[in-house]
Amino acid sequence: PGPTGPYPPYAVPGGWHGPPGPWQPPAPPKTDPLAITAVVLALFLWPIGILLGIIALVRSRNRKPPGPGRALAIIAIVVGCVPLLLIAVAVVLVLMDPEREGWGTSGTSMTDLSVGTCFLSPSSEDISAEGEVDAVETVPCAEPHDAEVVALLDAGREVEGYPSEEWWDTTAYERCAREARRYAIDPWGGSAILEYYHPSRSGWAAGDRTVTCVLSTPGGGATGSLRGFRLNHTPEQLAYLDAVGPYDDLWWGVPTTAEDEGDIPALRAWAERMAEGSRRAAEELRAADWGRGAEVAEAAESLAERYAAESGVWESAAGAEDPHVFWERYEEATLLVGPEEVELREALGLGTGAPTVLG
């Protein structure tokens, strides 16, 4: 049977505590300290300010709601970009300034020249205040020109860091002289000037290792190529050129900077090469077949005797312990140079305009 009396009242679980209090708004989101730091640094260390601003902006996206840190991050980025924009504008203005040094350089870049290319001498506008040349105007060799590229050497094969002035003055000279002789066969023939262009320190840092060897014509206006061919020479002429060419090449490599520094090891090493070179030149001149030309044979013997005498002096210089003694022997060797070579060249029908060297 069911209950017979009235149902009891329902109990409120947990009891009733009265009406709720007044509505309370949620606490405002806190500003990201990183965004504040970004704004401060953007005023003084703008690269760091921009970086921190970007980080704070990314962090604000993950917060709900974003909060005031997002606005501060954007402000930091904008403030930091102002000096960056000013620097960019300044660089553009400098590059567009027609009065700046080096402006107006046109033509072919020195790094794009190839063997056999003829060009005009760089103008003053093409030469920087440091004496650097970036480009030259190339022309066909059949047209009037000032210089011709005879060789391109890779200095990076012989040295690791930027070469010293002594290396440029000695090794580069010797290499260019040897290549010029191979190119022109007889650099004396046209009274040419041997020059070379080497990379600057900034160019070397950028990867340029090329030494550009050039034969130029005094006064300019040359027409035609200086490239020589062995077929254009007689056997007697080639015998002379092959005998004395290697020794002539060594003269370009005299260590001029070592004179100031008193680098006796470098001086003695060069003297040893000179002694060996002059000795071989004398031997090859005496072993050559001069045909029936008595005048040529007599002139060749006179030149061989001079080379043999030079070899002895160079051997003495190679044994010098003091730079002053070395240069005394050097002067003694140069005093031995007489008219023998010119006489032999005249007898062989070769030009007598000795080349000079510039770097």
Parse the chain into domains and list their residue ranges: 33-95, 108-357
- List, for the chain, all residue ranges whose pLDDT scores fall below the cut of 50: 1-2, 4-5, 7, 10-18, 23, 98-105, 356-359
Which amino acid is present at 69?
G
> How many C-beta atoms surround the C-beta of residue 181 within 10 A?
23
Closest C-alpha to 349, from 280, 299, 303: 299
Structure tokens at 159: 């040295």
pLDDT score recorded for residue 311:
95
| DSSP state at residue 15 | -
Beta bridge pairs of residue 357: 194
Instruction: Identify the pLDDT of residue 98.
Output: 43
β-bridge mates for residue 147, sequence order: 119, 216
> Which DSSP symbol is given to 220?
S
Residue 273 in contact with residue 250, Cβ under 8 Å?
yes
Residue 152's CB is within 10 A of a number of other CB atoms, namely 15
Decide: 169 and 131 in contact? Cβ < 8 Å. Answer: no
Q: Do 38 and 52 meet the contact criterion of CB atoms below 8 Å apart?
A: yes
Residue 176 burial by Cβ neighbours in a 10 Å radius (0-12, 13-18, 19+) = buried
